[in-house]
Amino acid sequence: MTYKEWESVQNGTSWKIALRSIIDQCVKLADSFEEFSVMLKMQGFEVSNRKYLSFQMTGEKHFIWGKTLGDNYT
């Protein structure tokens, strides 16, 4: 974890923590990957399932891989 990420976690402004929470909620409710993707899009996140599952928050420049969120997000 970089200092910037650590600082965001300490301040409660980490979008990765918010993303984990939203993913957990959407996984419980979705019946398919397509439905999961739509639910995340409604929450302001894009999903890419190319070589690796990755996520992008609206306004962010880059996607982040699910594996950087933790083992449960690959």
Rounded to an integer, the average pLDDT of 20-25 is 90
What local confidence, expressed as pLDDT, does residue 72 receive? 83
Q: What percent of the chain has pLDDT over 70?
A: 96
b/e for 15-53, b at 16 or more Cβ within 10 A? bbeebbebbeebeeeeeeeeebbebbeebebebeeeeeb
Q: Which pLDDT value is given to residue 13?
A: 66
Predicted confidence at residue 34, as pLDDT, reads 92
Does the pLDDT value for residue 32 go beyond 70? yes
User: What is the per-residue pLDDT across 41-68, written as a single tens digit (0 to 9) for each?
Assistant: 998 888 888 888 899 888 888 888 888 8
pTM, rounded to two decimals: 0.75
